[in-house]
A and B are shown apart, each in its own frame.
Chain A
Amino acid sequence: AQKITQTQPGMFVQEKEAVTLDCTYDTSDQSYGLFWYKQPSSGEMIFLIYQGSYDEQNATEGRYSLNFQKARKSANLVISASQLGDSAMYFCAMRVWSGKLTFGQGTILTVHP
């Protein structure tokens, strides 16, 4: 079975600063994919970034980057230059070959002006 752990229920960051949201995972599969989604208060789920287990480089998408440390089974999301609109719930998720996504409990990020 797969498990995703997000140990930070809430995080605060000052506007324009960088913030790291933690995610650790557990699986016995060698092939897997890791995702980060953003959920604003409206409830929609917005895909941010993807990292494959065999990808040698850390994924980046604009202000988002994924700090992938395979040996430590961690896939932390780094948001650079935080904006007020980044305030939301953030979920880490993992997929193995069954196709199902397993989600963590989420981290609420609050960006202060």
Chain B
Amino acid sequence: DGGITQSPKYLFRKEGQNVTLSCEQNLNHDAMYWYRQDPGQGLRLIYYSQIVNDFQKGDIAEGYSVSREKKESFPLTVTSAQKNPTAFYLCASNTGTGLNYEQYFGPGTRLTVT
């Protein structure tokens, strides 16, 4: 079945460590996105990529980095520079750049940093 895979579902790290969140899609979508969600809040865009080897900062990119070496994969690294990394992280993708394209989401990764 086509979809977006995020692993792991829960991730625990010590403060000061970098951590990489995985996102893989087999939908053949060009565009991929990373969002952060804090408890009881909406989704905020971290980074997005509309084509391989290209990506743009979203609204809250500080302390994060991404790469897009393959169409299927868009890993997110949460660096030690991110002040409050504990959050729920959602990866998404869609095909095309039209207005009506539904954005598909992965199941998310809950990151806890202590």
Query: Which A residues lie at the B interface, using CB under 8 A?
Result: 4, 9, 31-33, 35, 42-45, 47, 50, 52-53, 91, 95-97, 99-106, 108
List of B residues within 8 angstroms of A45 by Cβ: 43, 90, 92, 105
Cβ-defined contact, A103 with B42, below 8 A:
yes
Give 11 A-B pairs besides A103-B43, A106-B40 with Cβ atoms closer than 8 angstroms: A4-B42, A31-B99, A44-B107, A47-B103, A47-B104, A52-B99, A96-B99, A99-B50, A100-B33, A102-B45, A106-B42
List of A residues within 8 angstroms of B103 by Cβ: 35, 47, 101
Interface of A, secondary structure class, is loop
CA distance A104 to B100 in the complex (A): 18
Query: Which B residues lie at the A interface, using CB under 8 A?
Result: 31, 33, 35, 40-45, 48, 50, 58, 88, 90, 92, 94, 97, 99-100, 102-105, 107-108, 110
Cβ-defined contact, B41 with A105, below 8 A:
yes
Q: Say whether, besides A91-B42, A106-B41, A99 and B31 are in contact (CB < 8 Å).
A: yes
Cβ-defined contact, B97 with A99, below 8 A:
yes
